[in-house]
């Protein structure tokens, strides 16, 4: 199965893509995670991307298209995948079509997690992320068991620099201006599934399964 998980920053797409990939035994491919790995490793790509990410802007399409082409050609992607946070622009969507056509593949469904803006701002201000495995926690609603450490690998949690309130507001604007319309690209094939993301993680996971017909 090949899926896209879409939704604004803070809609829960990382949490639910990770969980769904685990449930379905397919790969979770999150472009934000791939970029943060490059930033952490201090590669030239990471240094370039960090400038955009810290401002809450998108990394240029050329960088993203090359990155996803490379990632989708890795062997684990053959069994199926969930793309989390990609495509975010019309160019990325068009280029993804070409990459998939070359691989003889197509997208089966696009899940859009819908969450009101007020809720998103609240969630992102309470979000802490594991810099090692990228798992996210809501410090009030879904906190880690051990104070400020990741449940999976005990790494101390951090606040993402782009989760600062001013940057969050900018990211939401960039999403509205550049990404919200990209969904129309997929509407024509009737594969878009809109899911309300305003509930507990378990409840939203159940809604996603239902929307996919499981």
Please tell me whether residue 5 binds ligand AMP under the rule CB under 6 A: no
Question: Contact, 13 vs 195, CB < 8 A?
Answer: no
Distance between CA atoms of 122 and 111, rounded to whole angstroms? 22
Q: Where are the alpha helices (DSSP H) in the chain?
A: 13-24, 31-41, 44-55, 61-72, 90-103, 117-125, 165-174, 184-187, 201-211
Please tell me whether residue 95 binds ligand AMP under the rule CB under 6 A: no
Distance between CA atoms of 208 and 3, rounded to whole angstroms? 12
DSSP β-bridge partners for residue 158: 129
Identify the residue among 6, 20, 58, 72 touching ligand AMP (CB under 6 A).
58
Please tell me whether residue 12 binds ligand AMP under the rule CB under 6 A: no
Which is nearer to ligand AMP, 50 or 207 (by Cβ)?
50
Please tell me whether residue 3 binds ligand AMP under the rule CB under 6 A: no
Residue nearest ligand AMP, CB atom distance? 32
- Residue from 27, 52, 49 nearest 38 by CA: 49
| Catalytic residue flag (residue 123) | no
Place of tokens 């620099």: 161
The DSSP symbol for 89 reads S
Sketch the per residue contact string, 135 through 164, with ligand AMP: x for CB under 6 A, - otherwise.
---------------------------x--
Identify the residue among 6, 20, 64, 72 touching ligand AMP (CB under 6 A).
64
Can you read off the two tokens belonging to residue 178?
A: 């550049």
Which is nearer to ligand AMP, 1 or 63 (by Cβ)?
63
Interface residues with ligand AMP (CB under 6 A) are: 9, 31-32, 35, 52-53, 56-59, 64, 85-86, 88, 92, 162, 171
List the catalytic residues.
Answer: 13, 88, 127, 160, 171
């Amino acid at each position: 199965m090949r899926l896209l998980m879409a939704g604004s920053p803070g809609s829960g797409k990382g949490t639910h893509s990770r969980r769904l990939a685990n449930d379905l035994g397919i790969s979770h491919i999150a472009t934000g995670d791939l970029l943060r790995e490059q930033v952490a490793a201090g590669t030239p790509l990471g240094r370039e991307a960090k400038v955009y990410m810290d401002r809450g802007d998108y990394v240029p399409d050329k960088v993203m298209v090359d990155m996803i082409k490379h990632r989708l050609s890795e062997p684990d992607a053959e069994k199926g995948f969930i793309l989390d946070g990609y495509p975010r622009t019309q160019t990325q969507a068009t280029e993804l079509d070409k990459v998939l056509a070359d691989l003889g593949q197509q997208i089966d469904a696009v899940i859009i997690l819908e969450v009101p803006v007020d809720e998103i701002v609240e969630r992102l201000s309470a979000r802490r992320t594991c810099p090692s495995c990228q798992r996210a926690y809501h410090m009030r609603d879904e906190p880690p068991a051990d104070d400020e450490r990741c449940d999976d690998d005990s790494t101390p949690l951090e606040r993402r620099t782009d989760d600062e309130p001013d940057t969050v507001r900018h990211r939401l604007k960039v999403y509205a201006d550049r990404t919200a319309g990209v969904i129309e690209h997929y509407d024509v094939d009737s594969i878009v599934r809109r899911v309300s993301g305003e509930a507990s993680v378990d409840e939203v996971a159940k809604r996603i399964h239902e929307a996919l017909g499981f």
